Structure 1
Amino acid sequence: MTAATSGLPEAVAGIRALARPLRTADDFDPLLDRIADARIVLIGEASHGTAEYYRWRAELSRRLIAEHGFSFVAVEGDWPDCFRIHRWAADRAEPDRTARDVLGEFDCWPRWMWANEEVADFVGWLREHNAATGAGVGFYGLDVYSLWESMGIVVGYVMDRYPDLLRNAQRAWTCFEPYNGDPNAYAYATRMVPTTCEDEVVALLTGIRRAADAEGADPRDPEAALDARQNAEVMAGAARYYRAMLRADSESWNIRDHHMADTLDRLLAHRGPSAKAIVWEHNTHVGDARATPMADRGMVNVGQLVRERHGDAAVVAVGMAGHRGTVMAADSWGATPRVLPVPDAPEGSHEQLLHDALGEPSLAVFPPAGDSPWLTRPRGHRAIGVVYRPQHERFGNWVPTVMGRRYDALCYFDTTEAVHPLAVDEPPQPGAEQETYPSGQ
């Protein structure tokens, strides 16, 4: 018996003891009991293109919002795109438009990640919930991308509200202008010549922070200052991220996840001391990095940072896993996405054990002690990004994971299907940035 297969009977028995079928939203009751008074619930996905992950994550989020008063959903998406959805869903703006209309404005590759039928169903429900209750539950983006779009928004805001900062805004714009919207050009330029735009961006960000603090919230538009500041934060984070992304180390990943965790903290502060957050990101971001080899490579992630900042009792992390099926992904960066096969999980992996033990959609809520043989032994755990090559997945799509340390619960699906995009993705513009390790996550 090999190391990969040793302990399999005990692991299978441990899975069966913890899991229960997941057939309706009512089956989340044990997880809701575990969440109890948690302030932050992190809900992962093992790919950016699997319908079951999106549907069941939305089902859990509906219950958290409707029954437990969660204040907003924060996702692995760009701030400007998601803030438009937020305005539509929370402020009930543009009453003549549908969820599919608003999501159709996502114009950056990979569009299918958010512009899909599964997300449209959820944000449509969110708008109806807000209209019926007046709750104003938000939908925000956490990611560090959208440098040029964010810069345009900030300049427009400064011209309208803070003309004293216009000189700082013009300096930042002038610094980035030679790169013509190409983050790779900026990254390579800062590598060849040690001159960056960070000083200009930080001066602008500092000015916006001070002006917004002094002015206070505009009663006509209470979130206008938040939007301006967060777009400025994106500019600062992106300037650091693009400069670091050319190096083959962990720095760009860490910059991105620190930015997302910092954004989450700003949103919690903005929404007030009783605010509670739901986070939608890939497993690789929400599952604690310390339970994987990422920690040995000097990498941190949102799951680790949120636990360290807020305490284990305030955070519940829920992972996702699937044995086989199909997924929406591309075989190279910028290629047209298509439905790709997801092969059976290999022997000794978490997914193969779950298949042997359960064979149907299931929920496992982990005990705090986590002493089950399944929860304490590292095994491969599938991670599919926006770029996926099924024939080569054994070389880069399996993350050794101590399941009980990475998550507090897991949703498992034996057979999955691809998400349903609202439109076929167009190739990205020249120079569009690639996301960092693991591929496209």
Structure 2
Amino acid sequence: MKTLFRSLLAAALFTGASCTASAQTAPAAPVAPAADTARITLNPALINAVNTQTFEQFRETVRPLIAQMAGKRVVSMGEGTHGTAEFYKLRFWLTRILVEEHGFDRLALENTYGDTYLLNQALQQRRSTPASLKPLMQRHLLAMWQNQEMADVLTWMQTYNRTHRRDVELTGIDIMFVTADAQLLQAGLAKVRNPEVQAATAQLLKNAQYNDNYWYKLSDPAFKRNRPEWLANGGEGYKAADKVLAALATAKLPRKQQEVLAGAAKNARLAFDVFYQYEVFKRNSSRDSAFAEMTKFVAGPRHKVIVWSHNAHVARTVAAAGDSNGGGTGDFLERMFQGQYYVLATGTAGGTFAATTDRFISPASVMTAHPLPQAKAGSWEASLSQVASPVYFFNTHQLGAQDLQRPLRLVGQTVGSEDFYSDTQLGKSYDALLFVRQSTAATPLQ
């Protein structure tokens, strides 16, 4: 389960008896202290009730939370599940406040850079209308983002950018499905008169298309893997992306185009890094470090970035015991943006959530509603659900002696992930937690 969150690529690459080298060379993880399972009662003084009836009422009740976020360069907003309507809605409202009132100008999703860039470009077209969103979202977003709550975010972005001089841009930090990255690079470098560059972009596109198609097939139980061919393709893809990235350093292109293509090349190289790491060092590759590298890139020297990703990624600590790939994305970002990183987790005790039966999510996966089982006894959720307020937040650093290792539910995008818990000390992982006692599955696109 941990690999679905923190090293999705390696989850498929390193499974099976024939691939044990990575496990043999990985350093032993420290033994975590036993989790505390006694139910706790939060100090009422810590609870900040949140009114969700209207955006205006919400804005007033989250002023203390916004005050903590406003001065940061990077604010991550986690999600306890990939398919909860309230997590999308409340993070949208928080994002809107940070953009409209505090100068944040980039929203980074757990979605591939190239596809998200193409979606953003379509949103910027003045002729675009909300009615055109559905096909764009289905083409460029992983299925977990294809819901009506996310459509509301994009509709707001369209309206905001038509009426403000400084646009808010949608961008991506994930490293799956990189064909769009390769297509951007081939088109953007088509006029560069260098046979080696043209050969490298053509090779990268070939490797990206093969790899993306392989990801789609991995969810088919009848698919017979050709692991040697996959490894070879991945190694070629890394070398091609590396050549393209080096060529961009001397290419004479307009500044904005140079930035976009550099992001695509960097994203593609990170996507194939798992194959490079295995081929050269016989070790795993950290998806969280890739998220952090892409976040640093899109932030650049001047942008203020909001990241939407799973709680397990944006945390400062690892999501599961035994994971030896470094900290969570938040740990890397804390070091990259010292004192300028803030992370909010979201959680729920029960209700429904949207998930897919596919083993690996893709833009074509189908998300349907499923029940969340009752929170595990002794978990954070079991204790937090006892608070009277249906929606509230609290600062984790004020938990004091109550901030012990306790199970925290981390639900992914797949059916069956709803029973996964990770022993977590909230204050070490997050700055605040926004809790929704009863939640509902994300709404299908209309």
Residue of structure 2 aligned with 1:43, choices 64, 71, 77: 77
Q: Closer, same or farther in 2 for the Cα pair 1:179/1:34, shift >3 Å?
A: closer
Confirm whether residue 281 of structure 1 aligns to residue 309 of structure 2.
yes
Q: Secondary structure at the match of 1:289?
A: coil
Where does the alignment leave 5 or more consecutive residues of structure 1 unmatched?
A: 424-441
Q: Does 1:227 align with 2:250?
A: no
**From 242, 248, 257, the counterpart of 1:202:** 242
For residues 137 and 41 of structure 2, what CA distance do their matches in structure 1 show? 42
1:122 aligns to 2:153 (yes or no): yes
SS in 1 for 2:375: coil
Offset at 1:159? 0.9
Matching of residue 144 in structure 1 with residue 167 in structure 2: no
- Contact 2:112/2:178 (CA < 8 Å) preserved in 1? no
Given the two structures, how large is their TM-score scaled by the length of structure 1? 0.80
Instruction: Find the aligned partners of 1:194 and 1:31 in 2 and give their Cα distance.
Output: 43
Specify the SS of the correspondent of 2:242.
helix
Match of 2:199 in 1: 167
1:29 paired to 2:63? yes
Contact 2:80 2:409 in 1 (8 A): yes
Aligned length: 392
Task: Give the TM-score normalised by the residue count of structure 2.
Answer: 0.79
The equivalent of 2:42 in structure 1 is 13
Aligned residue number for residue 441 of structure 2? 418
Encode CA deviations 1:363-418: one digit per residue, 9 max, x unaligned: 11234xx45233x201111111111227xx44xx1111101111101100010001
Give the 3-state SS of the residue equivalent to 1:73 in structure 2.
strand
Aligned: 1:346 with 2:356:
no
- Shift, 1:301, TM fit: 2.3
CA distance in 2, matches of 1:61, 1:321: 18
Judged with a 3 Å threshold, the aligned counterparts in structure 2 of structure 1 residues 245 and 85 are, in CA distance, closer, same or farther, namely farther
The residue aligned with 2:336 is 309
Letter in 1 for 2:372: V
Superposition deviation, residue 190 in structure 1: 5.4
- The match for 2:88 is 54
Q: Which amino acid aligns with 2:159?
A: E
Name the SS of the counterpart of 1:127 in structure 2: helix
Q: Is the 8 A contact 1:172 1:200 kept in 2?
A: yes
Deviation at 1:242, TM superposition (A): 5.2
Measured against aligned partners, the alpha-carbon deviations of 1:118-163 in whole angstroms (never above 9, x if no partner) come to 1111121122122222111111011112222322221122114565
Which residue matches 1:433? Answer: none
Give the counterpart letter for 1:137 in structure 2: V
State the AA in 1 paired with 2:157: L
Give me the whole-angstrom Cα distance separating, in 2, the residues matched to 1:85 and 1:177. Answer: 19
Aligned equivalent of 1:437: none
CA contact (8 A) 1:250 1:297 kept: no
Task: Provide Cα deviations, 1:4-39, integer angstroms capped at 9, x if missing partner.
Answer: 443x3xx3133x331111112221111122224211
Counterpart-to-counterpart distance in 1, 2:169 and 2:352:
31
Q: What is residue 30 of structure 2 aligned with on the other side?
A: none
My pick for the range that moved more, 68-77 or 354-363, is 354-363
Q: Does residue 189 of structure 1 match 2:218?
A: no
Distance 1:178 1:50 in 2: 32
1:67/1:186 CA distance change after superposition, 3 Å? farther
Code of the residue aligned with 2:434 in structure 1: it is C
RMSD value over aligned CA atoms?
3.0
User: 1:168: how far off?
Assistant: 3.0
- CA 1:157–1:354: 2 relative to 1, 3 Å: same
| 8 Å Cα contact 1:350-1:379 kept in structure 2 | yes
**2:114–2:181 contact (8 Å) kept in structure 1:** yes
Aligned match for 1:265, one of 292, 296, 300 = 296
**2 CA distance for matches of 1:178 and 1:88?**
26
Deviates more, 1:18-27 or 1:96-105: 96-105
1:428 corresponds to = none
Identify the residue that residue 98 of structure 1 maps to in structure 2: 129
Change (3 A) 1:337 1:245: farther
Q: Check if 1:401 corresponds to 2:424.
A: yes
SS at match of 1:357: coil
Would the aligned equivalents of 2:106 and 2:169 in 1 still touch at CA under 8 Å?
Answer: yes
Q: In structure 2, what is the Cα distance between the partners aligned to 1:343 and 1:175?
A: 41
- Displacement of 1:108 after TM fit? 6.3
- Write the letter of the residue equivalent to 1:317: V
Q: Note the alpha carbon deviations across 1:46-102, whole angstroms, 9 max, x for none.
A: 11110000000001000001111112111101223311332244xx31x33334523
User: Is there any run of 5+ residues in structure 2 with no aligned partner, and where?
Assistant: 1-33, 52-57, 219-224
Matches within 5 A, 1:327-366: 327-333=353-359, 336-366=366-396
Q: Partner of 1:140: helix, strand, or coil?
A: strand
CA distance in 1, matches of 2:232, 2:185: 28
Residue number in structure 1 paired with 2:409: 382
Measured in 2, the distance between the counterparts of 1:351 and 1:245 equals 38
Aligned partners of 1:409 and 1:264: how far apart in 2? 21
Deviation at 1:195, TM superposition (A): 5.7
Distance 2:443 2:212 in 1: 33
1:186–1:242 CA contact under 8 A, matched in 2:
no
Code of the residue aligned with 1:233 in structure 2: it is K
Percent identity, please.
21
